[in-house]
Amino acid sequence: MYHGVSQYGGHGTMAVKVFEKQMQFLSKRYCFTSFEKFNEAQSSNRKQILLTFDDGYNNNFLYVVPILKRLNIPAIFFVSHRHCQPGKYLWFSYLKALNGYFQAQKLSLHGNLFDFNSRNRQKSIQKIRSLLLDLNPHPSEMYKVIDQELPGMESFVPEEMISEYFSGMSEEELKIIARDELFTLGVHTADHAFLTQCSPEETRNQLLKNIDFLKNVTSVEPTLIAYPSGDYNEAILKICREENLSNGFSVIPIRRDWNDQDVPRMGVYSSSLVKLMIKIILGDQLRSLNFKIG
Ligand SMILES: [Zn+2]
């Protein structure tokens, strides 16, 4: 599981050179599989890799897609469509932008004044994060506060940095990906909500809005979901089944036994090939010993 990939890295993304090196390294040692062949691959002896990308960043289209095309590697892109609309961003992208680009020394929010001096900036971002995530109902109230009380991202981040790091894929880009036989698009909720914090109605709403968006843009009905932040429970799995999301991807699974709704994944966050190999070779065993490897 990967997330953002940018030209030089930064703001939680991986540099494109590092990403390409990892793909070349892995394609020499393993076989990449598509979702269609994934279930057959389970019974094969040879370890196969199914590559997934969460969130649906514009930088996936800019940097990841050309590399995967060149190396003929299949992948699933799980898209939260909030940031596929102009001027809209996922909540944590907004926080990363605030951390990296906001110039003023103070920021007022919801009756609090936050210190943005370099010394206290991280701590203030953490406090703002908690404040936003504690707002109810989740996630609508959080986005209302971001939209109404905080400065627009365009007012403090240069346009080219927004498309490099923070915006989602455009509808045109999603169409191109959906038409490509190598790639599959999947659900990641409308707003990248923490599903266990949503009411059952809101959970369904987060899924249905995302399914409709992807279906309308690409003419393909999605059947796969990656649970945002790996946050879900049995009640959420039931709603997913009811909405025909037959396969679900988690990070650390809540169920012990392998099943289609709870497929475990390994996140790749480091440029180190050694760490990557440890996750691939030993990840499952370490998890079975209760190490929380994500
Ligand atoms: Zn995500």
Return per-residue pLDDT of the chain as tens, 294 residues.
999 999 999 999 999 999 999 999 999 999 999 998 887 756 667 789 999 999 999 999 999 999 999 999 999 999 999 999 999 999 999 999 999 999 999 999 999 999 999 999 999 999 999 999 999 999 999 999 999 999 999 999 999 999 999 999 999 999 999 999 999 999 999 999 999 999 999 999 999 999 999 999 999 999 999 999 999 999 999 999 999 999 999 998 887 677 899 999 999 999 999 999 999 999 888 888 888 888
Taking the centre of ligand 1 as the mean of its atom positions, its distance from the CA of residue 194, in whole angstroms, is 10
**Residue in the block written with tokens 């599981």:** 1
What's the full length of the chain, in residues? 294
What local confidence, expressed as pLDDT, does residue 44 receive?
64
Q: CA angle, corner 214, sides to 208 and 216, nearest 5?
A: 95
Q: CA angle, corner 181, sides to 176 and 183, nearest 5?
A: 70
Q: CA angle, corner 172, sides to 216 and 1, nearest 5?
A: 85
Label residue 164 exposed, middle or buried (CB < 10 Å: 0-12, 13-18, 19+): buried
Taking the centre of ligand 1 as the mean of its atom positions, its distance from the CA of residue 55, in whole angstroms, is 5
What local confidence, expressed as pLDDT, does residue 292 receive?
83
Taking the centre of ligand 1 as the mean of its atom positions, its distance from the CA of residue 44, in whole angstroms, is 29
To 10 degrees, what angle do helices 273-288 and 16-29 make?
Answer: 60
Number of C-beta neighbours around residue 70 at 10 A: 10
Taking the centre of ligand 1 as the mean of its atom positions, its distance from the CA of residue 163, in whole angstroms, is 17
Residues 6+ positions from 281 with CB-CB distance below 8 Å: none
Structural tokens at position 60: 């996936």
What local confidence, expressed as pLDDT, does residue 112 receive?
95
What local confidence, expressed as pLDDT, does residue 213 receive?
98
Taking the centre of ligand 1 as the mean of its atom positions, its distance from the CA of residue 104, in whole angstroms, is 29
What local confidence, expressed as pLDDT, does residue 123 receive?
97
**DSSP class per residue in 39-58:** HHHHHSSS-EE-EEEEE-BH
**Residue in the block written with tokens 């959420």:** 236
pLDDT digits (tens, 9 = 90+) for 84-112: 999 999 999 999 999 999 999 999 999 99
What local confidence, expressed as pLDDT, does residue 291 receive?
83
Q: How many Å apart are CA 80 and CA 77, to the nearest integer?
A: 10
- Provide the greatest CA pair distance for the chain: 59
Question: pTM for this structure?
Answer: 0.96
The DSSP bridge partners found for residue 187 are 79, 225
Label residue 133 exposed, middle or buried (CB < 10 Å: 0-12, 13-18, 19+): middle
Taking the centre of ligand 1 as the mean of its atom positions, its distance from the CA of residue 241, in whole angstroms, is 20
What local confidence, expressed as pLDDT, does residue 254 receive?
84
Q: How many Å apart are CA 33 and CA 268, to the nearest integer?
A: 17
- Cβ(38)–Cβ(51) below 8 Å: no
CATH class assigned to 5-85+162-288: alpha beta
pLDDT digits (tens, 9 = 90+) for 148-193: 999 999 999 999 999 999 999 999 999 999 999 999 999 999 999 9
Closest CA to 150 of 125, 123, 120: 125
Taking the centre of ligand 1 as the mean of its atom positions, its distance from the CA of residue 45, in whole angstroms, is 31
Taking the centre of ligand 1 as the mean of its atom positions, its distance from the CA of residue 36, in whole angstroms, is 22
The DSSP bridge partners found for residue 107 are 114
Taking the centre of ligand 1 as the mean of its atom positions, its distance from the CA of residue 226, in whole angstroms, is 8
Boundaries of every domain in the chain: 5-85+162-288, 91-161
Taking the centre of ligand 1 as the mean of its atom positions, its distance from the CA of residue 230, in whole angstroms, is 8
Closest CA to 263 of 86, 39, 88, 109: 39
The DSSP bridge partners found for residue 55 are 79
What local confidence, expressed as pLDDT, does residue 82 receive?
98
